Structure 1
Amino acid sequence: MNLSMTATYVSEKILTKRIDLGQRMSYLPSSFLVGKNQWVVAFRFGVVVTIGLNETEFQGAMDVIAPHMETPVSPKIDETIQIQLHAAEDNITGDHITLKDLTWERVLVMSDIMAKSVMLERYETAMSGVFTEIEPLARRLMKGYNEKIRSKEIIHRIGATLLIQQMLVGRVEVSEKPEVLWDHPELEKFYLKLKDEFEISERNSALQKKLELISVTAETQLELINKSHSLRVEWYIVILIVVEIFLTLYEMFFRAQ
C-alpha cells in the first residue's frame, strides 16, 4: 500500500490543544487518527502533517484547524513524500519511505522530521533575501563614514535575526529529538536515517552560520554609527570651547580699549 505524506507550513502558531479532529492520540504534538492509515499531526509552530488524505479530506482537516491558527501564512510551504507499507524494514531512499507498519510511534517520528524540514525551508527562504544584503553592507563599511547608514534599518535587521534564532531554538527545537524516542528507543536508527536524508543538522548549521554573519555585520555597522555619533559630539564640544575662547578674548580686548 502506498500513501502520501505532506507537511505544510500554514500559520505562525497553532493552538493545538483546542483542535477536535478524529481520535486524538497525543498532545505534544497533537496527533489524530482520522481513518484507516490516515493521520493528521499539528505542531504548535505552525506546521500540519497529513498522511493518507486525499485533497478533499485534506481541505476538510484544514477547515477544522483553521479557527485555531494565529496569523495564517500565504503562500504556504509544503513538502511531500511517499510511504510504502508492509515492507521488510523501515528505511528511506530518496523521496520514498518504506515501513513495516504505520504505527503511531512511526507517524510521530516521521512528522517531526518533515515539520522541521519545512520550517528550515521557511527560514532558508526568508534568510536568502536578507543574506544578499551582506555584500552591499560590507562595501558600505569599507567606505567608512562617508556613506549614510540608517541605524533603524540595522536595529530591525538585528531584531529579525534574533527572532529567527529564538524560533529555531525555542519553538521548533530543530536540534532536539522527539519525545516518543524516549519510550521507543528501537526507532532511534530510523529517526537518524530520516534526519540524515533530510539533512536537518547540516541545514540548521548552515542557517545558524548565516544568522551569525548577518548579526555580526549589523552589529559592526551599529557600532560604527555610535562611534560616528560620539566623534561628532566631541567635535561639537571642541567647537563650542573654541567659540567661547574667542568670545572671551574678544570681550577682554574691547575692555582693554
Structure 2
Amino acid sequence: MGVSALGGPGRQRDKFVALPEEEDDSLPLVEEPAEPVLPIPSPEDGELGALAGSLSVSGGHRLFEDLPRDIAMDSAWRGRITFYCVAESFDRKKLEELLKLTYPPGTVRSFPDVFYVEYIKGADGRPGGDVFFFDYGVVATWGMTKAQEMTIVRGIATQCMETPLPEQWTEVDEFQFCFGHEKQQHVQNDTVTLHRRYAQDYKMKLAISYALAQSTKLSVYEKRVTDIVLETKNLPEALAEHGEVAISGLDIAKLIGKVFLQKSAVNLLGSVLGTPEFFWHAPDSFQALYTRVTEYLELDSRVELLNSRFAVLQEMLDMLRDHQNNYHSVRLEWIVIWLIVVEVVVGLFELLGLFGVVGKQPE
C-alpha cells in the first residue's frame, strides 16, 4: 500500500489557498453525542455480530479500548488527516449494519454517499477522532493515530469492500489539520488551518473530506492510466521501426476496453467529478469551502490531464486497430488475387485441353 502526497504531478504544495469564512461567527457547534462505548455483539447478531465480535479481546474488553484516547497536540491543536482508498466501493447496507453493531446510538450518522462515525469524543472544545466511510471505497480519518487508523481500515472497511483494490493500486494520502486562533483560514503545505470554533464541527470536516477523498480516488485512476501507458509505450516504437506490431487484434480490443472503463469511471460515474449531494442542502459556505479545497488540489486540471492521456491512448489504439484491419485486408486481397490467378491458369489448361494442345493425344 503506497503513501503519497495529495494531488497529481506538478501540484505546488506550498500554494496558499484562502478558505471562506463563516458569515455567522456565532455558528453553534454540533451537538456532542455520548462518549462512545463499544458494545459486545450478541450471538443473535448473526454474521455481522461475529464480524463485530472479532474486534473484541478476552475479558469482554474491546480492542479499541487499548488504544490511546487522546490526541497529541500543541496549543494550536494539530493532528493527522489520512485517506485510504482500498476498494472500488463499499457494500453500503452491510457497512451500515456493521457500524451500528459496533458503535453506540448517536455516534453513527448517514449521508447520501458517506457514513460518519465519532470514534473519539472531543473534550473542552478540542477535536476528537472522526471517521468518514465514502461509498466509493475511501476511508477518511481525522485526529487519529496510525494504529487507530489501521484498526478502522482492517477491522471495519475490509469487511464491507466490494471489489477490493490490488495492493499496487491502493492509495494512502496524508494531510494535516490545525485548529488555532488565526483569522484567515487556509490550506498550505498540505495543512488545513481552521478556527478553533470548528474543532468539533464534523460537517465542516466532511465538506473538506469530500474534496480530499475525491483527490485520493482520482490518484487511483492516475495510477491505472500510468500502468496502461507503460504497457503500451513500446507499440508505437515497434510500428515506427518495423512497420508492424507483435500484438493481436484481440489484445488491442482488450486495451481499448480497459481505457474506456477507466475513462467512464472518471467522467460518467460522478464519484470524482460530481459535486456531492450533501452540498445541495448544506449552507453555501460549505460548498464554497469544498470548492476552495478542490482548487488547492487542482482537481480540474488533473482531470483534464487525465482525459488528455485517455485521448492519446484511444487515438493510438485506434491507429493500431486500423493498422491491423488494413493488414488483414491486404492479406485477404492477396489471397483473392492468387485464387483468381489459380482459377485463370486452371481455366487456361482446360481450354487448351479442348483444342488438343495439352492432354493425351489420340493414337
Fold in common (TM above 0.5): yes
Q: Does 1:32 align with 2:117?
A: yes
Among 162, 179, 182, the residue aligned to 1:85: 179
Q: Does 1:235 align with 2:334?
A: yes
Residues of 2 paired with 1:169 and 1:108: CA distance?
23
Q: Which has the higher strand share?
A: 1
Per the TM alignment, residue 150 of structure 1 is displaced from its structure 2 partner at its CA by 2.0
Letter in 1 for 2:256: I
Per the TM alignment, residue 129 of structure 1 is displaced from its structure 2 partner at its CA by 3.1
Q: Secondary structure of 1:177's match?
A: coil
Residues of 2 paired with 1:197 and 1:168: CA distance?
19
Give the alignment's Cα RMSD to 1 decimal: 2.1
Q: Which has the higher helix share?
A: 1
In structure 2, the partner of 1:219 is 318
In structure 1, the partner of 2:32 is none
Are the aligned partners of 2:207 and 2:287 in contact in 1 as well (CA < 8 Å)? no
In structure 2, the partner of 1:8 is 84
Among 104, 111, 114, the residue aligned to 2:202: 104
Are the aligned partners of 1:79 and 1:118 in contact in 2 as well (CA < 8 Å)? yes
The structure that has the greater radius of gyration is 2
Residues of 1 paired with 2:88 and 2:171: CA distance?
12
In structure 2, the partner of 1:142 is 240
Per the TM alignment, residue 206 of structure 1 is displaced from its structure 2 partner at its CA by 0.6
Q: Secondary structure of 1:49's match?
A: strand
Correspondences of 1:1-257 after superposition (within 5 Å): 1-19=77-95, 20-21=98-99, 22=103, 23-27=107-111, 28-36=113-121, 37-62=128-153, 63-73=155-165, 74-75=167-168, 76-87=170-181, 88-100=183-195, 101-102=198-199, 103-132=201-230, 135-142=233-240, 145-171=243-269, 173-182=271-280, 183-257=282-356
Per the TM alignment, residue 173 of structure 1 is displaced from its structure 2 partner at its CA by 2.9
Quick one: higher RCO (CA 8 Å, sep 6+), 1 or 2? 2
Q: Secondary structure of 2:171's match?
A: strand
Residues of 1 paired with 2:236 and 2:150: CA distance?
46
- Change in Cα spacing, 1:93 to 1:145, as seen in structure 2 (3 Å) is closer
Are the aligned partners of 2:210 and 2:290 in contact in 1 as well (CA < 8 Å)? no
Residues of 2 paired with 1:172 and 1:39: CA distance?
25
Residues of 1 paired with 2:341 and 2:242: CA distance?
27
> What percentage of aligned pairs have identical amino acids?
23
Q: Which moved more, 1:211-220 or 1:34-43?
A: 34-43
Per the TM alignment, residue 90 of structure 1 is displaced from its structure 2 partner at its CA by 3.4
Per the TM alignment, residue 133 of structure 1 is displaced from its structure 2 partner at its CA by 5.2
- Change in Cα spacing, 1:146 to 1:134, as seen in structure 2 (3 Å) is closer
Per the TM alignment, residue 196 of structure 1 is displaced from its structure 2 partner at its CA by 1.4
Residues of 2 paired with 1:13 and 1:86: CA distance?
35
Are the aligned partners of 2:235 and 2:245 in contact in 1 as well (CA < 8 Å)? no
Q: Secondary structure of 1:228's match?
A: helix
The number of aligned residues is 257
Per the TM alignment, residue 146 of structure 1 is displaced from its structure 2 partner at its CA by 4.3
Residues of 2 paired with 1:216 and 1:251: CA distance?
52
Residue segments in structure 2 that go unaligned for 5+ positions in a row:
1-76, 122-127, 357-363
Per the TM alignment, residue 32 of structure 1 is displaced from its structure 2 partner at its CA by 1.9
Residues of 1 paired with 2:290 and 2:348: CA distance?
83
Residues of 2 paired with 1:165 and 1:141: CA distance?
25
- Change in Cα spacing, 1:147 to 1:177, as seen in structure 2 (3 Å) is closer
Are the aligned partners of 1:110 and 1:194 in contact in 2 as well (CA < 8 Å)? yes
- Change in Cα spacing, 1:232 to 1:196, as seen in structure 2 (3 Å) is same
Are the aligned partners of 1:16 and 1:42 in contact in 2 as well (CA < 8 Å)? no
